[in-house]
Chains A and B, each alone.
Chain A
């Protein structure tokens, strides 16, 4: 009842509020899903850290995981998803203990984090459906209990694994950013923005005073600014924003030391004026990323350092110059003094002033500006590295995208109709042809774009498999090394969805049946740890995904014995070739596992794999050598929207048959035809008798030829077996854009034997035959 009420309150809000709220929730769900997907491989990577103790790298990983959990928590907190907050908060606590060295990382911890990810996913699914997460309290509580038991267990062990001295030293070396919540951060930024605004105002007043030659000494002003900088410094120091801390520290030093030196003070104030923007930028960074990156920090510090009397200067490492003035000095074009003079008068870009004052030529300044530009992004990059590189992307409603792709498909057809319009036949149209050629080229490019727009890298899918392999190997006590290759291969989104299940089945099979236990492996002279290789690549206009293991492999004799035992084949199977024997594993009900585990061995896996692949017009190949492993290759078409089709004709009607289903076509000899007493016509092809289907009979068309000798027979193959289709003529092969028959049509009756339709270049609708249905 509680969640129902909560949901109602959302409903009662005005439409606009409601939409906005939903929009925010939707965004949160999407972003969090992405984050968790990014997070999982890192968590699995943590496994390697077990027993390593803390070092800088490990710490960074822990921090990374922490940050992600933290972001999820922030978002969930904002939207009041209390279960999710609770879960992520607990995970955070554990991580905090881990990175402070209070606990040593163990596999159980990694398990817990994996479970937290699972829970978060579950929670997101629930939120997506119900609008809140109060219905999954039980799941959350389960997780909490697990966290508690695990952490209390390890707590007992802590005395032994207590931080060793060397770890402590590392601890001191790497400045730990304190745990700051998003709210703290916001407050910090808000507060300090006010301080900086105040400094800015003071500086402006100072400037005015200077212009008006008012004698009110800058000293008083400096005092006020010093106080503010001091405040700012303390704030930064407290929250351990190291870069801002350092910068404000030296500014304070300079202000202190330059008391009474009017010129130095004025110069220092000028520099601070310049730095206002830098401060603001840094605060923005804190707000957005939680880090206080100050680009060009060393340079600023040195600038201030130079203002100090030589004996008070702090020693700093010489950074690459990034200020225009400094570059000019280094190039020997102008002197230090000149720059400083120019700087103090600077209301305009320093380069212009120098040119005006005749100290440097315009070319020299321009050159220096170029150097500066080169240096800037470099410093920016070095500061930003360590963050995960992000692709620039935009989220688009899939429906909009599909509409766009449909429109592009229509443009292709329309272009064909225009260019091959019968009205244009036999006309001399030089200019038209030129323009038409140009149009065709653009349309082709557009079509290619439309194809890749739906493509996603397969890495997301592969990453999920990392998790699977880890879980399975832990459960079975087998050691497996998962190798991934070709993760950036791009595949149609729908294809990725369709091959997820098959891939899971295949990997389970490899781990359950293929790769043996460490003892078993060492006994046959293989390394303890098995290798499972997952590779994706583009080849021959299709995507191939191979799953290779170096396990037991499949024994032909065993396979055949099993199949005979289960009654899946007739006879003793001795006539089967190696390849045919391997195909047996795809038969429903086939399983060679001696013992059935909860994940595989029920004999439902491989036929599902095959079926799913056939659904997307793909296929599966198996190569296996007993003793040395198995390779399974999934052949997947690049896209589901286009197939290679064979255009055929019967009477006045044309049809498309998917090329993949066509085995061969031939003109039959009348002697090869037999008719059974019940009227079924059969044709003998080599040693097989195949039933003949007359397409004109099925679709009630008036054909050109009724005698088999006048037309052509096409052997179609599908899972159910092979048949021969009798048609008048083959018209040729062509790329076919698949469209579905109208929804209305399927309401009106069962369209059997037709899987969809396409539009031919002359604009006519052409049906695509469903070979599977025809065979059945």
Chain B
């Protein structure tokens, strides 16, 4: 992760993306994802179920000919599932060439959160989900939970 940041510092084009986060709403909280890894946001569409997957992998969709696996973040955090509606979105992220879609309740906006406004994640809050969190961003009075996309996608077992 630090490597990636280092790269970004050297890369002028990436400069505009620094400190920018895509925020979305899930259950009662607002979350943020580093925008550098996000390729697009699409509406919910029919998902083809793949057998023998962990519950948070809902299946695959066809994104312009590309087969993209879909993860439901509610299931990942073991929050109670709900029906998808017209506000449900799929955030397509691309990490090291692997495209993965993330289902969220609602996408809000892209905001700037400068580094000094971000606090480190809670040390060990007892709940194992804190390791998906890269920091807590403070925007005005509100708090955005910033997620670490790498652990979110690639961490095998939330034990």
Contact = CB atoms under 8 A, between A and B. Distances in A.
Contacts of A743: 98
Interface string A727-750: 000000000000111111101111
Interface string B52-71: 11100101111011111100
B46 interface: yes
Chain B CB count within 10 A is highest, among A406, A698, A744, for: A744
A425 interface: no
A187 to B, nearest CB: 48
B137 to A, nearest CB: 27
B65 A414 contact: yes
A454 B36 CA distance: 36
A759 B65 contact: yes
Contacts of B154: 747
A406 B66 CA distance: 9
A748 B54 contact: yes
B65 A406 contact: yes
Contact of B64 (A410, A741, A751): A410
Contacts of B51: 698-700, 751-754
Contacts of B110: none
A745 B59 CA distance: 8
Interface string A665-702: 00000000000000000000000000000000011110
B149 interface: no
Contacts of A751: 50-53
Chain B CB count within 10 A is highest, among A742, A754, A757, A764, for: A742
A759 B66 CA distance: 9
A700 B59 CA distance: 13
B53 A745 contact: yes
A740 B66 CA distance: 10
A767 B98 CA distance: 20
A741 B50 contact: yes
For the residues of B in contact with A, the DSSP-based class is strand
A113 B33 CA distance: 64
A193 to B, nearest CB: 48
Interface string B89-110: 0000000001110000000000
Contacts of B66: 410
B65 A653 contact: no
B153 interface: yes
A461 interface: no
B98 A765 contact: no
A766 interface: yes
B27 interface: no
B48 interface: yes
Given A410-B65, A414-B65, A742-B60, A757 B53 contact: no
Given A410-B64, A759-B62, A765-B61, A745 B50 contact: yes
B63 to A, nearest CB: 10
Contacts of A748: 53-54, 57, 69
Chain B CB count within 10 A is highest, among A747, A748, A750, A763, for: A748
A765 B65 contact: no
A749 B61 CA distance: 17
B37 interface: no
A741 B67 contact: yes
A763 B49 contact: no
Nearest to A412: B65
Nearest to B98: A744
A637 interface: no
B57 A766 contact: no
Interface in B1-58: 46, 48-54, 57
Nearest to B68: A742
Contact of B62 (A740, A752, A763): A763
A574 to B, nearest CB: 44
A700 B53 CA distance: 12
Nearest to B95: A744
Contact of A765 (B54, B64, B67, B153): B67
A764 B67 CA distance: 10
A413 interface: yes
Given A741-B60, A742-B98, A742-B99, A750 B52 contact: yes
B50 A409 contact: no
Interface in A387-424: 406-407, 409-410, 413-414
Nearest to A748: B57
Contacts of A757: 48, 60, 67
A753 B49 CA distance: 13
Interface in B79-123: 98-100
B46 A754 contact: no
A742 B52 contact: no
B52 A765 contact: no
B100 A744 contact: yes
B67 A739 contact: yes
Given A739-B67, A744-B69, A744-B100, A749 B53 contact: yes
A655 to B, nearest CB: 10
Contacts of A765: 48, 59-62, 67
Nearest to A700: B51
Nearest to B51: A699
B62 A754 contact: no
B49 A699 contact: yes
B24 to A, nearest CB: 20
Contacts of B98: 742-744
A223 B59 CA distance: 89
A608 to B, nearest CB: 30
Contact of A745 (B64, B65, B69): B69
Interface in B125-157: 153-154
17 contacts: A410-B64, A653-B49, A699-B51, A739-B67, A741-B67, A741-B69, A744-B69, A744-B98, A744-B100, A745-B60, A748-B53, A748-B54, A750-B52, A751-B51, A751-B52, A754-B50, A765-B67
Nearest 10 Cβ contacts at the A-B interface: A410-B65, A765-B48, A742-B69, A744-B69, A699-B51, A765-B62, A759-B62, A745-B69, A765-B60, A749-B52
Given A413-B65, A414-B65, 8 more contacts: A406-B65, A414-B64, A743-B98, A744-B98, A749-B52, A749-B54, A753-B51, A765-B62
